[in-house]
Structure 1
Amino acid sequence: MEIHIPNIPADLTFKSFQRLIEPILNSLGIVDYLCEKTRNKRYANITFLEPSDGNRFLSIYGPHGKPLSMLGHAVRCRLSNKGPDQTTLKVIRHAIDERQRRKSKAHVQPRPKSEPLQASCLSCGLHTFVDGRFSFVSEWDAQEGCLVRFTKRHLIFKLTDRGIDVRIPRNAIVQLVWSESGRASVTLSQPPIILAKRSPEKSDVIELDGLGSIHLDFSIFADIFSRQQAKPEPRQRLTAIDDGHSNISAFCLVYHFQITAASIGTHGAGEHFHKEMWNITEKEPYQVTRADIKFYHASDLPRLGRFSEALTRLNNQLDSYTTSNDLPFGILFLLQALVYNCYLHPTTVQAVARELLGRSNISIDAFRKLFDWIDYPAPESNPRQFEVDGIIESLDVAERQVHEAQLMRAELFNDNENSTRIFRVSISPMRITLHGPELETKNRILRKFDGKANFFFRVQLCDENGQDLLFNPTISLDTVYSRFKSILRKGIAVAGRQYKFLGFSHSSLRAHSLWFSAPFYHEGKLQIPEHIIEQLGDFAPIRSPARCAARIGQAFTETPYSVSLVDNGVQTSEIPDVERNGRVFSDGVGVLSPQAAEAIHDAIPESKGEPTCFQIRWAGAKGMLSLDTELEGSQICIRPSMKKFESPDEANLDICDMASKPIPMMLNRQMIKILEDMDAPPWWFLELQRKEVNHLRAITRTVSSTASFLAMKDIGESIRLPHLLRQTEAMGVDYHQDLFLRSVVEMALLKEIKLIKHKARIPVPKGITLFGVMDETGFLQEGQVYVSFDTMQGRYHEPPECQKVVITRSPALHPGDIQLAHHVIPPEGHPLLELRNCVVFSQRGDRDLPSMLSGGDLDGDIYNIIWDEAIVSQVRSFSPADYPRLPIVELGRKVEADDMIDFFVDFISQDCLGVIATRHMILADLAPQGTRDSDCVKLAELHSQAVDFSKTGRAVNLRELPKTPRQGRPHFLAAGSQVLVQEKVDVELLDEQGGDEDDDDDEADQDGPRHSYYRSDKILGQLYDAVDEEKIWHQDIQLPRLSPNDNAFWRQMLVVLEQRVAAASKVNCKWRNRLDEAHGVRHTYEDAMYDIMVNYSDHPFKPLRETEVFSGFIVSKTGSASRRQRDRSIKMNDEFERVSKLVMTTMHKGPGALELCLACVHAGLVVKEPRGRQVWHRGSSDDIVSFRIVAASALLQELNALESNDCLV
């Protein structure tokens, strides 16, 4: 039953309405209902699951009953003219199920309700020590009352007179210090979120760090989800509270508030303040300290001076050092980073810079250690670490450390053939931060200007937490995007150099990063961005900013390997495309001869094998090259479809990727939904999932199963971790006692379970994922494919026989994006048999098959193939999509750098792929025809347009999106249980976040809207329900907590290892003679490991956990990893593999390898001194513990080799 409540105040929010109605319904014993209230609308609805509840409510508050009081308005309720929405009823039923589920679990103490606190002022500044006393120095004050509230997700300061909220995410709080007098200060790891409740008037402007006045307007995003005619005005995300705040808000991350004097006592808000502080002390993960806080204004401390003035002096000083070449640029960059990243006051950094003059022994690697060793100031901190003498002393210690194992450090950290060290800059709504240098895979530009890497920056646009800015229909980000454009146009000044926009690749556009460069001389010529671009090719004829950026971006694609065509005598030529009916069957693919392929094989690591297909960049061309054994000599043949612009830069062939091994076939939610609509039997999906889940549940039952699982997932293969686990069992040592090893196994399994449940990523044994190429011989007929891949010693099922197969490509939204094809095997001796790890498509027929599969082509797309008869024989196929080509947005003039900057920022602000894909899943679940429903087909077309946005410059108009139901999403879209890594490595799984009465205000949360859910009975809902991740975690994954004792584990290991060393050594093993060397190897490994933890973290100042790096994937708190986390996980894993292999090689070098390996084990077991600290708020390489595991594995390899030789003798 639905009840309508008219004539209520229009500005009453949903949450306020719910709070008013809830006690009334509770008094009637009614709990199963759902409220709806749209802001700026003068009515609300309540849906009751049981009509009897609705009738009981109406009998009291109906047309003839007593009125309800809503903010002083008397309102009467009536029966709605329409029946209850069925989806809403599903939502209520699902809420009942969730309530019962939580009741069945152990009781969790609810968070104490937070009461607002009244403060007399709010200040922004920094912590320091004045005469050895912990103090707060204010750089900006709001001399007005404000409300302070600790909610479930935020600490909120409400500046009511200004209509501004300052929201601090609780996970951004590093520490809170409070005193009995009512003072409190919070130290943050990132700037807060500042929201204006009302839109500033047209005359209102915000000054953005001197980058110009930005006028505020509204984005079309603000109203796309409102279903009513009158749209609520969005709140504005600001970049500062006011002009004064904007001068220091990027650098001062301590906010101080004073509870009103009248409230400090034994009654009233004073009691609330003390109670709130004690509650926080007990509940929060960050440090809460009660201590006296001495308050100063910046003008009170002439030694430091006002921050903005000191910053100007520092910038001038660094500029002069660059001009006079007094200090290396890398050191100057890091000096500026100490201020920009909120480590030290500019006055202190000025003094440090003066101390460094004339010192020739300061290396960048040593200086970077300061970022590990300077903590956030706290009451218990040693003031010396923030003083010049203490900093220089730390620098000297760091310098001594980096001189250990110098050759190994050079191999790990210095430039090499395929990578170079690059500085990185992050631009967020409120600040600019400086990072690096870090090794970056080379691209054509970096190779061309070898040795000039520090004149290039990689720039990242992101939110304050390092992640993408989230779309929220109730919050306008216009001010933020205007700030981004202004900075990108003006450039970034660092230590006297002005870095300007250069370009971006297609992948970096998706990742919201781009390249900047500063002027430099190369081969006697001045190189500025315009000149660099001119040398790449002729882009003048291109009139579209999107297309021009894409073409220039080819030079910025990461190319790990490069082959000199001149040195290898490789000839290039052009061959025609295969075209028919306006279709290009060879779109994006060319060929190369066996001799040319050999030249590439010589340039890539042996571990890659001898691939036959390569994704390349050459001159103005991009795409794939496949082996053609009938080509003579050494040549590559490019097709017109591969050439994107004319370029004279033809000397080298750059390799982006290659078909060195197959990729596992994984189902996903979109694919599963379409297959369901194609009449795939539900039992097939459920059985695949059941087998995989049962397999994962059995992994921890034996060490052998665990080791096999780690090997299958390539976890720790570079240090032979699976072999190490097997050896521990053989030696009678229980690896479960080592907390780190145990956590690596648990995290790996938990990741797999969460992917299965929340992304429906289910492996298909009779399936594979491969690069696509074209049959150059014409052997394949229309609708035929040839699949070839290595089984990797039985890791994958044998390729299909001649039979029907299902073939698709992700993302698949249109019902015709999955097709049936006939797999055929060429006769013996046929050239196609030489191709490996690819799917070969026919060049015959009316339409090329790749274009039918989500608009695919052959320039590097990968395709999914399934040959399981249980599904292939059951499904039917639908006509593929055939969308018209959209016109490209052109300017009618030459494209300038500012045009590409505007496109870059507009792309970020209007990229809506995720919005469309999610809406498609919702509607496909609700519609009887599933993905064939007209709204779903429309969404599939809009999704295709959104994919092409980066090429056409034409954004999707979100007002065209079909509407979703007013209430509810399918429950398989709900967030998952939280993953919590405690004490650096210990893994815990927490229940999903339920409702919380002490949530944020009525206004929409910055994290996005809150959703309600209904239980879906379609296949995706069934698959979701079939996996109880918490039950599996507790029963099968979480290894028994046996009071792990790392010392006991390693004592046992050491005893056995030393016994084996003694038995294997012909002479006494003099490992102690190698101990100093071993400590150098350890320090180098830990520095490299910590670099990875920092460089691949989403958050610029919250490093990853060591277990994440060691395991090879970044842990998402809920559900599964974001796109950026997935991309970074791949690169992170590659970097850890490089580091660990080099460390292992170092240990194995020379005739004394056994002694060094054993010395490294002993060095790894030495507990480091805590450097006089009690609490450490930043990450540090001191916390790394995995070196001993790497050393033990290296030692076991040496022992196995020696013992095997003895057996042979």
Structure 2
Amino acid sequence: MIETVHPSDKQYHVKMLLRDSQIKFQPPNENKLILRIVSTNDSSHACLFFCPLLKAIEDSDPSGTASTRIERMYQQSYNQLASVSLEGMELLREIFRVTDNNADVGGDTRSFLLKLAMRLKGDSIYPEDYLDSFLSLYLASLAKSTRTTDPFTIPIPGSHHSLGLADDNGFLNEEEVYIRAEGRTISGRVLIYRFPIIHIGDIQEANALGDDVVEERMRNLHPNNGASRHAALKSMDNVISFSLKDYPPFPNRLSGGDLDGDHFEILTEACGFWDPSVYATSPFGNYAGEVQTEEDEASSHEQGNPLGIKNDPPDNQNDASDDPQDDTESKDFDIGSVATFIGQYIRYDCFSELETTFMRLADLKRDGMNDKHVKKLAHWLSQAVDFAKNGLKVDLNELLVRDPGFKADMTPYFQRPVPQALANIYDATGKYYHSSKLLDRIYQCNITTPFPDLGVIDNSNLQNMLATVWTARRKTLARTWRKRPTSWDSVPRMSLRDQDIDARLEAAFLRKEMRDYRDYLKEQNIGESSEIDIFMRRRRDDYPRSHIRKLVHSVLDLLVDDHVVRRTSEEDGFTLGECLREDAEEVYKLFLYRAW
């Protein structure tokens, strides 16, 4: 049982009975638990390109202008990733969704050193300043692995990743939205979509209102508190509000989205490849829920496809007097029913295979996503997404046998699931072909953009710059003396944010731990390149991860955090003087450069 206080009436308490499995956090004090909203969404991030989005943009632009601009963007991004530059580091930050907040250390080993490089940027130490260092080698390896695993995933300029909300204030008209992103209001024509895109109509154009228009409408609709309502909207960030007057609802047009926590991707004119002024009408006019022909409609109804229903608004859609009808149906089920469903799920769970076939077919067909067979396949793909929810299955084998128009015997090069080093072996099978379409051009650009050899690792330049920064700031690193340990076993092995201990004792403790770690690496015959593989989780390692995280947090607290201040303990009257910077420097060098 947890209890919370109503936000407007502090005397009103709400109680909720939860199962143990529903509790995802440990409350600080179960007797005095108060829940409060700390933010409306996560940190600001740009949208990322992915294959269906690229294909939809290409097929909606007959002039090829957008495709040419996107191709240039990829070439520039690949060069930046290969050069280990500040721009390349920012690309990695967006790809791995790492926050730019210096106070967020995090414990994810997959991006810890990327976070470190970002924190060094705050000290005006950029990747170009330590090109021969271990940190540079790590960033280069991370960039190379990104281009190897998914070369199409790069951030889109002028884009925003936002949480979807409903306009409960009633100020938005049809096809209007209100967007808050990166601390400001986005206005003008925008493109909105969700993942996955299986139809060109899954990208929809809308008009984002500015604050001047919203302020006037709020004042007219809510004379008493319009200003406070508008202020509440402006206090949110990374959110998009949809109108309640759209039918079908605008989020439903975007790959069947809704407002139960779905995120939406927003493109503005600043993206660099979309210019709404060049279109007499939007190329994204029809969405996947619309049936284009009678043949499509009959086929959809025959197979039980819910997308086959025409979306005509009901005559009484604004009549709030009608009570909703209960159309639920109760059915008895037992363990046999569960086993049957699991068996069907294993048999008919073909979403990944359908998606691969969908992209292959869209590349082969002259009209791409506008081809009738690709559109039909999009319906089946949409149904396969929700198979686990509604039980409506898609038999891919039967579908391909019934209509040869769905078959795609050849595979474009961008779908080869092999490293480039083995490409010639697979090419000999004759099943792959070079395409002139955008995705294959990007793929060829990726494999022909080389990564330079960084040579021998030399960390001295970075270490000297760090020493200069520390000396200039004259940082005071001090801790409250809690107790005098009699042996190393009694030294608190906790992160400094959990318990304050003497900084010099901690430095000595960390040096001892790093000697143990180096001995472990020597026994396991692990060199520097293998350690990078450990960090990027390309090989298993049995060294305790929790112990490494504690060391990581301790080093960052000692050396990077600007908010560490000297304090005096009043418990025993002991005053701790300034910590020796040499101790901190030594810990930094030993841990980050000799160990990792």
1:1016 and 2:366 are equivalent in the alignment:
no
Q: 1:912 aligns with which of 328, 335, 350?
A: 350
Deviation at 1:811, TM superposition (A): 1.0
Deviation at 1:772, TM superposition (A): 1.5
Aligned 1:713-732 pairs, distance under 5 A = 713-714=97-98, 717-718=105-106, 721-722=116-117, 725=120
Matched with 1:941 is: 379
Q: 1:827 aligns with which of 201, 209, 214?
A: 214
CA distance in 1, matches of 2:485, 2:470: 16
CA distance in 1, matches of 2:163, 2:120: 35
1:800 aligned partner, one-letter code: I
1:661 and 2:58 are equivalent in the alignment:
no
Compared CA separation, residues 1189 and 560, structure 1 to 2 (3 A): closer
Q: 1:1181 aligns with which of 543, 554, 559?
A: 543
CA distance in 1, matches of 2:342, 2:206: 39
Compared CA separation, residues 953 and 1199, structure 1 to 2 (3 A): closer
1:882 and 2:289 are equivalent in the alignment:
yes
Deviation at 1:1074, TM superposition (A): 8.7
Compared CA separation, residues 722 and 677, structure 1 to 2 (3 A): same
CA distance in 2, matches of 1:1197, 1:671: 40
CA distance in 2, matches of 1:1151, 1:1056: 26
1:775 and 2:164 are equivalent in the alignment:
no
Compared CA separation, residues 893 and 881, structure 1 to 2 (3 A): same
Aligned 1:745-784 pairs, distance under 5 A = 745-754=139-148, 757=151, 760-784=152-176
Matched with 2:57 is: 675
1:866 aligned partner, one-letter code: L
Matched with 1:1153 is: 503
Matched with 2:399 is: 960
Alignment check: 8 A CA contact 1:711 1:722 kept: no
Q: Report SS of the residue matched to 1:600.
A: coil
Identity %: 20
1:675 aligned partner, one-letter code: I
Aligned 1:927-1076 pairs, distance under 5 A = 927-958=365-396, 959-961=398-400, 962-963=403-404, 967-977=409-419, 991-995=421-425, 1012-1028=431-447, 1031-1033=449-451, 1035=452, 1039-1042=454-457, 1076=488
Q: Report SS of the residue matched to 1:1145.
A: coil
Greater Cα offset, 715-724 or 899-908? 715-724
Matched with 1:1143 is: 495
Deviation at 1:976, TM superposition (A): 4.9
CA distance in 2, matches of 1:836, 1:912: 37
1:841 and 2:242 are equivalent in the alignment:
yes
Q: Report SS of the residue matched to 1:769.
A: strand
CA distance in 1, matches of 2:382, 2:51: 18
Deviation at 1:728, TM superposition (A): 11
1:783 aligned partner, one-letter code: E
2:75 aligned partner, one-letter code: R
Deviations 1:1022-1053 (A, max 9, x none): 22222236x432x2xx53234x79xx999999
Deviation at 1:1072, TM superposition (A): 11
Compared CA separation, residues 1160 and 1049, structure 1 to 2 (3 A): farther
2:454 aligned partner, one-letter code: L
Deviations 1:767-787 (A, max 9, x none): 112222221122111111111
CA distance in 2, matches of 1:1079, 1:806: 57
1:689 aligned partner, one-letter code: Y
CA distance in 2, matches of 1:708, 1:1171: 32
Matched with 1:366 is: none
Alignment check: 8 A CA contact 2:80 2:87 kept: no
CA distance in 2, matches of 1:994, 1:780: 56
Compared CA separation, residues 558 and 940, structure 1 to 2 (3 A): farther
Deviations 1:890-921 (A, max 9, x none): 99841223322331342133211111111111
CA distance in 2, matches of 1:1011, 1:1144: 60
Alignment check: 8 A CA contact 1:1164 1:1185 kept: no
Q: How many residue pairs were aligned?
A: 463
Matched with 2:203 is: 818
2:141 aligned partner, one-letter code: M
Compared CA separation, residues 1055 and 1020, structure 1 to 2 (3 A): closer
Q: 2:364 aligns with which of 926, 938, 958?
A: 926
Greater Cα offset, 908-917 or 1050-1059? 1050-1059
Aligned 1:626-665 pairs, distance under 5 A = 659-665=41-47
RMSD: 5.0
TM-score normalised to the size of structure 1? Answer: 0.33
Aligned 1:325-724 pairs, distance under 5 A = 448-450=18-20, 599-601=35-37, 609-611=38-40, 659-679=41-61, 681-698=66-83, 700-701=84-85, 713-714=97-98, 717-718=105-106, 721-722=116-117
Compared CA separation, residues 810 and 1014, structure 1 to 2 (3 A): same
Compared CA separation, residues 786 and 670, structure 1 to 2 (3 A): same
1:681 aligned partner, one-letter code: A
CA distance in 2, matches of 1:766, 1:1054: 34
Deviation at 1:949, TM superposition (A): 1.0
Matched with 1:513 is: none
CA distance in 2, matches of 1:1174, 1:689: 40
CA distance in 1, matches of 2:466, 2:66: 55
Aligned 1:1103-1122 pairs, distance under 5 A = none
CA distance in 1, matches of 2:500, 2:447: 52
2:394 aligned partner, one-letter code: V
Deviations 1:499-535 (A, max 9, x none): xxxxxxxxxxxxxxxxxxxxxxxxxxxxxxxxxxxxx
Q: 1:800 aligns with which of 186, 190, 205?
A: 186
Deviation at 1:755, TM superposition (A): 5.8
CA distance in 2, matches of 1:847, 1:563: 44
Compared CA separation, residues 562 and 1025, structure 1 to 2 (3 A): farther
CA distance in 2, matches of 1:814, 1:845: 20
Q: Report SS of the residue matched to 2:454.
A: coil
Q: Report SS of the residue matched to 2:505.
A: helix
Matched with 2:588 is: none
1:904 aligned partner, one-letter code: I
CA distance in 2, matches of 1:764, 1:789: 15
Alignment check: 8 A CA contact 2:57 2:67 kept: no
Deviations 1:1077-1108 (A, max 9, x none): 59873xxxxxxxxxxxxxxxxxxxxxxxxxxx
CA distance in 2, matches of 1:735, 1:1166: 29
Q: Report SS of the residue matched to 1:765.
A: coil
TM-score normalised to the size of structure 2? Answer: 0.64
Deviation at 1:665, TM superposition (A): 1.0
Deviation at 1:953, TM superposition (A): 1.1
Matched with 2:138 is: 744
CA distance in 2, matches of 1:866, 1:1178: 40
2:450 aligned partner, one-letter code: I
1:673 aligned partner, one-letter code: K
Deviations 1:399-457 (A, max 9, x none): xxxxxxxxxxxxxxxxxx9xxxxxxxxxxxxxxxxxxxxxxxxxxxxx9454xxxxxxx
Aligned 1:1126-1137 pairs, distance under 5 A = none
Alignment check: 8 A CA contact 1:887 1:952 kept: no
The structure where strand makes up a greater share of residues is 1
CA distance in 2, matches of 1:1079, 1:903: 55
Deviation at 1:1182, TM superposition (A): 7.0
Instruction: Compare CA radii of gyration and give the structure with the larger one.
Output: 1
Compared CA separation, residues 723 and 1160, structure 1 to 2 (3 A): farther
Structure 1: state its 5+ residue gaps. 1-416, 418-446, 451-555, 569-597, 602-608, 612-658, 792-797, 978-989, 1000-1009, 1082-1141
Alignment check: 8 A CA contact 1:1061 1:1199 kept: no
CA distance in 2, matches of 1:951, 1:878: 29
1:764 aligned partner, one-letter code: I
